[in-house]
Every structure is written in structure tokens, then in C-alpha cells.
Amino acid sequence: MEMNKGQRLYKLAKKLIPGGTQLLSKRPEMFLPELWPAYYKKAKGCEIWDLNDKKYTDMSYMGIGSCILGYTDEDVDQAVIKVIKEGTMSTLNAPEEVELAKLLIKLHPWAQMVRYARTGGEAMAIAVRIARAKSKKDLILFCGYHGWHDWYLSANLADDKALNGHLLHGLSPLGVPRSLKGSSFPFQYNDIESFLKLIHKYKNEIGVIVLESIRNVYPIKEFFETISNEAKKINAVVIVDEVSAGFRLNLGGAHLLFGLEPDIAVFAKGMSNGYPMAAIIGKKEVMKVAQDTFISSTYWTERIGPAAALTTIKKLIEKNVPKHIGDIGRKVQEGWRLLANKNNINIEISGIPPLGHFSFKYDNPLIIKTLFTQLMLEKKFLASTAFYASYAHKDQHVKKYLEATDETFNFISRAIKEKCPEKYLKGSICHSGFQRLT
Ligand SMILES: Cc1ncc(COP(=O)(O)O)c(C=O)c1O
């Protein structure tokens, strides 16, 4: 059997880099321990070449949601190459920052000012800092996943399972100052009661309310209305996190679709096709407080991010990419449904069309998930129980993927009937959520 060069490198990586990778969701253990190709040589459209030069079609996370147009998009890359040639850093500022601010404000008429960062988590930390500075109150209520920063992980100091319902399980707050205990509290999406309970308990101490515009289910109208109304009553700043959802359902933040008018909205992975960029946009009276607190970093001034974002957003508009990824995502979700029925497999599908998921409804879901990934990899697909659609995914990719899924579900169905699906695994079972690598 051919040696997996990626796995050999990953073994070394785990000795040199604690946790192996910089992002939990890119750990090979999250997909197929010991067998996942782990590293790439080249990526184009929705295809990836591993270190052994094997080519796969990515029907999984597309750079964990960062490549909405597809890998190495020609237009975005040309814009980036242009600024690389002209200089991506200098003592003076990048004019693209201003053009991008104008474009973001045009798409979000409720906002008047913009700041930039380069990653989703840090942009959220900036938004929270501005919101606390504006409200002059420390306490945060939040819903959803918002990154690795102290303000967020501190919720797990009071209750180590507080964050479990918010995308990633088992996030450890070790190293987060214990003095932050009791400074942020989670509520559940669409659960008005859980939100109001916290409002009644902490009322005027609450300075910030943070939520994702959408993750797995569409919002109930009253949920957003209640948040807006209560925030006004207690003078709390509302931050909507569009890091994952932004630009996927529509041209801009998904909150625009649902009639939620926040004070701040935060964008990152949907806006710049794989080049680091993040934006914090907001109402003038809130954003101008960013001048009264120190928020400043050298590399937030580099030029690649704004150049990539401008070209990406213009292309999203020109090609109506949200419609394309919605159509492709719906076809994949419909395929999962039909093929699961056909092969007698019990799955539950969730997520918005461009960011779809399914889970195997069995006592041993991780074994079956691992087997699915293993069998799909053998058919040259990077696949897991999620599909993030990109503009590079076309009908022919979906067709081939669903043919492979049909065969794989059929195999799994027989393995389940035999009552011992694990005997087909060639490595160990995939991880779920955060855990230490041994
Ligand atoms: C909604 C949301 N907020 C924040 C983040 C953190 O972004 P980043 O990984 O760029 O720090 C993510 C990442 O997945 C996200 O989905």
C-alpha cells in the first residue's frame, strides 16, 4: 500500500505543534484518524491534491467555510497578485479599506462605520470590546459559536457544559482568568424563555447581547423581536455574528433577511475567499466609541485582505452566488434524504442549504460517520457529515458525489444489519468536539 505522506507529516506536526493544527476543525482526527490525507499540495475550484498527488473533490467544508467562490478563484487571486506586486504593506494605509467600507455600508444601510481585523474570533472580540465600551457594562448574553477568546470561553468557567449546545463540545477554558467567571451567559437560539430568564435575572448589568444570525434553523420572528426590544430597554448593544452565515443566503448579513437590526455585525470567512479578512460594521453612535478604547494592530493594515474582500464581494454580487450555493446545497440535502430512504439509513438533516449537515441516528454514530468518510475517501471525495457549498460546485460534482453516497449508504446499511460496522474501519473512530490529542 502507498505510504500516506500527509499522515507521516502530521505525526511530526503533533510533536512540534501542540494539537497538531491551528484550527480544531482541520484536525485529521475530526475526519478519519490515521487515514485522512491531512495536508494539501494544491487546491483549485472544489478539488484538492494531497501530498501523494491524489486528487479529491471537496464535498465537505471548503476550507471550513472560508472559500465561498472555490479554491484559487482567478478573479480574487488576480486582485491579490496586483496588490502583492504594488506592495501589500507600507507606512501609509491601503486605500481599499475605504472602498470596502463604502461597499459594506451600501449593503447594510443601517450601518455607518466599519473597522477591520483578519479573523472571525478577533473581530468578535473587537465587537465585544466596543459594545462593552459603549454600554459601560461588562455582562454578556450570547447564543452560538464565536471563537476562542476569553470573553466567550469564560462561560465555561461557571458551568463546564455551558457551551456544549453552541456548535463545539467540551471547549476547555483552562487559562481563562477565573475572575471572568459569571461575565458571560449563554441562551439557546429561538428559545425566548431561556433568553428572558437571563434578562430578568441580570437586567441592567447586561451590556452586550451576541448572537449568530442563523446557524441550523431559521429564526422565529418573535425571537429577534424580543432580543431587540429587551436590548433597548436595558441599553445593551446587540452584536450579530455573520462570520459563518454572512453572504451565504443573501448579499450581506443574513440578519437583513430576518428584519433584525443590530448595533454591530461581524463578517469574516464569507467575505474574502480564503484570504484573511474580517469586518466589524455598525451604527455610528456605537462604532465611534472604538476611538475611546485602544484597538490597534499592525497587520490589520495589510492590503491583501481588503483587496480580496472587495473582489470577492463584487463577484458574489455579479454572479448572484448566494442563489447558486443555495441551489447546490438544496440538491445535496435532497440527495441525502432520498438516498438515506432508499438504503434504509436513519439520518437527520439540518442546516441552511449552503451550510448543510446530517447526523446518523444510531447508538454508535461516530463509528458510522467514520466509515462514511473512509468509504467516500476511497472514492476520491473529501466528505463528512456536512457540506458547505461554493460557487465552484456545479451540478456534475453533486451528481458524482450522490452516486458515491448511494453506494456508500448501501454498504453502511449492510454493515449496520450485520451489527458490527466497526469491523470495516481501517483506522480509529473520529473525534467529536474538543479533546486533547494524546
Ligand atoms: C459564527 C462564528 N463566529 C466566529 C467564528 C470564529 O472565526 P475564526 O475561526 O475565523 O476565528 C466562527 C468560526 O467558525 C463562526 O462560525
**What are the tens digits of pLDDT across the range 261-277?**
999 999 999 999 999 99
Neighbours of 432 (CB within 10 A): 14
Distance 247 CA to ligand 1 centre (A): 14
Which ligand 1 atom minimizes the distance to the CA of 269? Answer: 10
167 pLDDT more than 70: no
In angstroms, rounded to a whole number, what is the distance separating the alpha carbons of residues 25 and 120? 14
203 pLDDT more than 80: yes
> Which of 244, 300, 357, 388 has most ligand 1 atoms within 8 Å of its beta carbon, as the pocket-test mutant?
244
> Does the domain made of 74-318 have the CATH classification 3.20.10.10?
no
3-class DSSP assignment, residue 101? helix
Domain ranges of the chain: 1-64, 74-318
In angstroms, rounded to a whole number, what is the distance separating the alpha carbons of residues 420 and 233? 57
| Among the listed residues 275, 264, 274, 205, the one whose alpha carbon sits nearest the alpha carbon of residue 240 | 264
DSSP-assigned beta bridge partners for residue 117: 278
Distance 433 CA to ligand 1 centre (A): 15
68-92: burial string, b at 16+ Cβ within 10 Å, e else: bbbbebebbbebbeebeeeeeeeee
Query: What residue's CA is closest to ligand 1, atom 4?
Result: 146
DSSP-H helix ranges across 171-303: 192-202, 221-234, 255-258, 284-287
46 pLDDT more than 70: yes
Which ligand 1 atom minimizes the distance to the CA of 147? Answer: 6
Range 393-396, long-range pairs (CB < 8 A, 24+ positions): 393/46, 393/59, 393/70, 393/325, 393/328, 394/328, 395/328, 395/331
Element (H, E) at 350: strand 347-352
Sign of CA dihedral 310, 311, 315, 318: positive
DSSP 217: S
119 pLDDT more than 80: yes
pLDDT tens per residue, range 274-325 = 999 999 999 999 999 999 999 999 999 999 999 999 999 999 999 999 999 9
Greatest alpha-carbon span in the chain: 67
Arithmetic mean of pLDDT, 371-378: 98
Query: What residue's CA is closest to ligand 1, atom 8?
Result: 120
Distance 408 CA to ligand 1 centre (A): 31
In angstroms, rounded to a whole number, what is the distance separating the alpha carbons of residues 31 and 425? 13
Which ligand 1 atom minimizes the distance to the CA of 215? Answer: 1
Amino acid occupying residue 139: L
Which ligand 1 atom minimizes the distance to the CA of 167? Answer: 16
Residues with Cβ within 6 A of ligand 1?
119-121, 124, 144-147, 212, 241, 243-244, 268-269
Distance 388 CA to ligand 1 centre (A): 14
> Which of 145, 168, 273, 280 has most ligand 1 atoms within 8 Å of its beta carbon, as the pocket-test mutant?
145
Q: What is the pTM of this model?
A: 0.97
Give first-to-last CA distance, the chain, whole Å. Answer: 26
